[in-house]
Copies of this chain bind each other. A is one copy, B any other.
Amino acid sequence: MTTTHSPVRLQAVSAPDQPDVTPALERLYRGFEQELLVPLWTEIGDLMPVHPRPRATAHLWRWESLLRLAAQAGEIVPVGRGGERRAIALANPTLGGRPFATATLWAAIQYLMPDEDAPEHRHTQNAFRFVVEGSGVWTVVGGDPVPMNRGDFLPQAGWNWHAHHNATSEPMAWIDGLDIPFQYLTEAQFFEFGRDEISVKERITPERSRSERLWGHPGLRPVAVRVDAPGSPLLSYKWQHTDAALKDQLLLEKAGYAGTVEPGHAAVRYSNPHDGSDVLPTIRAEFHRIARGTQTAPVRETGSSVYQVFDGSGTVTVGDSTWSVTRGDLFVVPSWQACSARSEAGSTDSDSGALDLFRFSDAPIFEALRLHRTHKDV
């Protein structure tokens, strides 16, 4: 009997919960290896922990470094068919060097040089763009040009054709969020190349996309437009609305009314105007404003999140890590690790003194599958 070709390796160990190490047990384990079998009793601690024990680690990436490296890539790495995008992804330090921000989420900085195009394609991976600074790039989704400006959030559900086009004489960077790791792990991905060039008509750059004209009016839906495809039909959530909604929550709080998450902590969720659900089937996106001097309560949640500091500065604690953060910095919150933030009075460059955080997470996966839990640490 030889097990040399089996990928299974079983080690009989002397431990309280394990069977006695005997020649019979060793023979049994060789038999398991031979037949490609693994017992539960050696694996249960790893596979079925008392609460999620994430393989990912809490980690912070500095925007300054990302932007610097992206600009270098802009000089020497072309964008074209095959590579498809000049996108550089966060690789969580404990996920084996893979470009996975967390177990399920991809987060990357994407960089487009003046007048450059990223070619058209589509894929089942759900995606969005979020713009922490700059302007001038248009995303063309299904033939609809969508401008990108600071603070804008652009969801783009799976299987929509899309390309990017920088219409200005300046380079531009933004972040892409996708469910690439999730679809990689569950093996659900399809991909298709589109046209090599978008049309002249799509290079026209209106202030508002067609999707905004149809779906961007509060509480109003077009009578004649059917929605069958997954994801939000609204392709841009402009900053002016997000900012206004957050201001309104804090004003309500000041007037003595409910609306904020906790004192000094306003938050909105980007939602699908067709059915009120999350903007993407697998990704939740939110914007949190933490007023000057506010410390939020630590919260744990099934699944993971990625945050980007949009404005202000402060201190963030995730699990055992604490960082000072400022505009553009990105950090990840692995599953069931407590996350809290403090806005730092006086040290901010924003008008309001608030710490503004963009956040995305995989919560819709767990809610859809009845696996979602949250816990507020006392």
Contact = CB atoms under 8 A, between A and B. Distances in A.
Interface string A61-88: 1100110010011011110111111111
Given A76-B25, A216-B218, A32 B69 contact: yes
A141 to B, nearest CB: 14
Interface in A318-357: 334-336
Contacts of A270: 219-220
Interface string A90-123: 1111111111000110001000000000000001
Interface in A128-154: none
B36 A188 contact: no
Nearest to A223: B267
A223 B25 CA distance: 44
A368 interface: yes
B281 A213 contact: no
A52 B218 contact: no
Nearest to A83: B41
Contacts of A216: 218-219
A8 to B, nearest CB: 4
Nearest to A224: B261
A127 to B, nearest CB: 11
Interface string A236-276: 01000110110011011000011111100001111111111
Contacts of A61: 35-37
Interface string A181-197: 01111111111100000
A190 B222 contact: no
Given A90-B36, A371-B124, A222 B268 contact: yes
A54 interface: yes
A252 B184 CA distance: 39
A117 B322 CA distance: 47
Contact of A65 (B35, B39, B82): B35
A165 interface: no
A3 B84 CA distance: 27
Contacts of A364: 369
A50 interface: yes
Ranked nearest first, the 7 interchain pairs of A and B with the lowest CB-CB distance are: A17-B82, A41-B83, A38-B99, A230-B370, A213-B248, A187-B335, A217-B245
Interface of A: 6-9, 16-20, 22, 24-25, 27-28, 31-32, 35-41, 43-44, 47-56, 59, 61-62, 65-66, 69, 72-73, 75-78, 80-99, 103-104, 108, 123-125, 158, 180, 182-192, 210, 213-225, 230-232, 234, 237, 241-242, 244-245, 248-249, 251-252, 257-262, 267-276, 279, 281-282, 286, 288, 302-304, 334-336, 362, 364-366, 368-371, 373
